[in-house]
Structure 1
Amino acid sequence: MLDTRLQAFLATVQEGHLTGAARKLNLSVSALSHHISQLEQDFSAALFTRGNRGMVLTPAGESLYHYAVQIEGAWQQAYREVRARATGDQLIHLAASHTVTEFFLPEPLGLFRKARPEVRLHLRMVNSDEVASLVESGAVDLGISEGRRSHGSLSSLGLWNDELGCILSADHPLQVKPQLSLDDVVRQDLILREDGSGTRSIFEQMLEDHGVSSRDLRVTAELASIQGILGLVAHGVGIAVLSRVVTYGMREVVYRPIADVTLTRQISLLERPGPKPNQAILQLIDTMVRSATRFNQRRGSE
C-alpha cells in the first residue's frame, strides 16, 4: 500500500482542498491535515500555501508532486505485475479517449483478442486530459489519445493520422459546398465536445490562431457523447467539428473540410518510460501499430 502521507498529499493536490481530499480518502479533515503536516516536518518545507483559492503547491510541493506521481505509478504497476504472477492472470489496463475508443481501437483490440485469448483487457473511456493522468499515475498500462499537446514525462508513439472538419446534416443548406470557410462555421449553431476533449482543444486552438474567440461562438450544446452529437446534427440542431471517421457509413450526415485551416492530429500511444512489463503488452502495441499503418495507407490513397 502506498504511504498514507503520500496518498494524502496526492489527493490534496488533485482535489485542490482538504475537504475534498479527506472525502476521497475517507478520512477526517484533521487526520488528513496531520498527514500533510508530518510530510512538511519531514522535508522541513511548506508544501502548500493555504488561502481562499484552496491548497496551492509551493515550489517545494511542486518538486515533491513530480516524484510522488512517479512513485504512485511505479507502485500501481508493481502491484499489477506481482498479482498477475501470483494468480497466473494476464491483464492489460488501457485508457482511451472517446473518439479513439469508438472508431480506432475496435479493430486492433479484436485482432489481439483472437491472437491472445488468454490475456484479459480492461478499457476505460475518458477524455484526453484524463488519459494522460491515468497513465502517469500508473492506474493503466497504456493510454491512447489524440491531440497536439505535450505529454510531459510520458513516452509517446504516433499511431493514427486523423483529420477534423465540419459535420452537417445531409439536408443542411451548406452541404452543397465542397468545403466550408471559417466564417461559415462560426455563423452556425455549434455542438461542441466537452471541456477536456482533445477534439475541442484542437478546434479552439485553431480559432485562437485565426483571431476568433470561442466566447463568440453560438454554442447550442456541449456533449461527451459522439453518438449524441451525431444525432443532434442529423436532426438539424446544429453543426459539429469532429473527426472525419465518425461519418463513415452514415447517410444522415456529411463531412466537409474547413478551407485554409489545419485541423489534423496524430493519435498517440502513451506509456510510462522504462522496460515493458510483459510480452503481451509488446504484442498489443505491435497490433495497434500495424492497424494504424493500414489505416494511414488507406487514407493516403483516398
Structure 2
Amino acid sequence: MIDAKVFSLLAVAELKNITKAAEMLSLTQPAVSHHISQLEKELGVTLFIRGKGRLELTGSGKTVVKYAKMMVSAQERLKVALFDEGRHLTRLRIGITHTAESNIIVEVLAKYGNDNPNVIITIITDTIKNLYTMLESYELDLVIAEGRPNSNSMSSLLLDTDYLVCAVANENPISKKPMVTISGLKNQKMIMRLPESGTVNLFAASLESINESIDDFNIILEVDNIATIKDLIRKNLGVSVLPKSTCMDEARKKKLTLLPIENMSMLRETNIIYQKDFSHPEVLQDIMSIYKKAIKAKVKLRN
C-alpha cells in the first residue's frame, strides 16, 4: 500500500548514504536518488543536505520521516489487525519506563493477560522520550510512565501517586537520622538514574524550586537499571534518590533505609498515557482495577 519512495526515504535517513540504502533495498543507486527527488518535488521541500561526508536530514526532512514512520507502522499494524481479527485476538503494545518496570505494573499486565486469553501483550521498556515518540507514531498503544503527556493528541489516566526518597545503605551513618538535609546529601556519593529519566527530572526541578542545582551534588555514577542502583546502595557504594514504591520491598526486609529529604516534597504521578483515538477504553479500566487490587494486597501483606 505504501509507495516505494517512502521506504527509500527511510533507508537513506537511517544509513545517511544513498549507496548503502540502495544495497539494503536491493535497488540501484539512481533509483533511490530518483525516489528522493520525486518526494522532494511532490512535497515542495528539501529532505537532505550533505554534511561531513554523509547526508543529513533537513528540518522538513525530519518531519517527513516522522510521518513516514507512522505510515509504515500503521500499515504493519493493519496487517496484524486483519490477521488477528480472524483469530479473535487483540494485541496490545505497552511501553513502560525502567521505573515502572521495577514497580508492580508488569505483574498487573501479566494478570490482565491471564484474565483475557484473547489478548496478547508486548511490553517495551525504554526512556520516557523514546516511549512518547513510539506512542506518537502508533508503534505503541499505551505508555505507563511518570508525569503527564505534553501533546494535545494524547490523554492520560492517573494510575498512582508516589514520591521520591533518599535510599541509603543500613551501614551508612545518615541511615540513623530521621531525614537527610540538602547539605548532608551533597556530602554523599550519589548513584542516579540517567539525566533524561523522569526521576532525575523531578529531583532537578524540585531542587530548582528551592534555588539549588543538581550540578552541585556529587553524582559518581549514572545507571538506567533501578535494580542495579539498589544493589549498589546495599553495598554502601553510594546513595540515590528513587521513587519510594520501587524500594518498599527492600525497606520492609531491612535491606536498605529510606529517608525523606528536608524541605523537598517530590510527588510523582504514574499515568496510563494513550492516543485520544485509542479504541479499547475497557482495557484502561481493567488495568486500573487490577492495579488497585494489587496495591491493596501488597499493603495487607506489609501489615
TM-score (norm 1): 0.81
Tell me if structure 1 keeps the 8 A contact 2:149–2:273: no
Aligned to 2:130: 130
User: Which residue among 269, 274, 298 is the counterpart of 1:271?
Assistant: 274
**How much has 1:236 moved relative to structure 2?**
0.7
**How much has 1:202 moved relative to structure 2?**
2.0
**How much has 1:147 moved relative to structure 2?**
3.0
The whole-number CA distance in structure 2 between the counterparts of 1:42 and 1:146 is 41
Tell me if structure 1 keeps the 8 A contact 2:143–2:274: yes
The whole-number CA distance in structure 2 between the counterparts of 1:20 and 1:196 is 33
Aligned to 1:174: 174
**How much has 1:201 moved relative to structure 2?**
2.2
Change (3 A) 1:275 1:173: closer
TM-score (norm 2): 0.80
| 1:17-56 C-alpha deviation (Å, 9 max, x unpaired) | 7149967x93589565554332111112223454459624
CA RMSD of aligned residues (A): 3.5
Tell me if structure 1 keeps the 8 A contact 2:40–2:46: yes
1:202 alignment partner, SS class: helix
Tell me if structure 1 keeps the 8 A contact 2:148–2:273: no
Aligned to 1:287: 286
Gap runs ≥5 in structure 2? none
**How much has 1:89 moved relative to structure 2?**
3.3
**How much has 1:231 moved relative to structure 2?**
0.5
* 1:201-280 to 2 correspondences below 5 Å: 201-250=201-250, 251-276=254-279
Tell me if structure 1 keeps the 8 A contact 2:203–2:266: yes
**How much has 1:233 moved relative to structure 2?**
0.4
| 1:64-93 C-alpha deviation (Å, 9 max, x unpaired) | 456445534533442332121134433222
* 1:133-172 to 2 correspondences below 5 Å: 133-147=133-147, 150-151=150-151, 153-172=153-172
The whole-number CA distance in structure 2 between the counterparts of 1:253 and 1:7 is 52
Give the stretch that moved more between structures: 226-235 or 209-218: 209-218
The whole-number CA distance in structure 2 between the counterparts of 1:164 and 1:81 is 40
The whole-number CA distance in structure 2 between the counterparts of 1:255 and 1:29 is 61
Give the stretch that moved more between structures: 66-75 or 188-197: 66-75
Mapped pair 1:119 → 2:119: yes
Amino-acid identity (%): 24
| 1:176-218 C-alpha deviation (Å, 9 max, x unpaired) | 2222222222321110112432222222333344444444432
Aligned to 1:95: 95
The amino acid across from 2:104 in the alignment is F
Give the stretch that moved more between structures: 256-265 or 228-237: 256-265
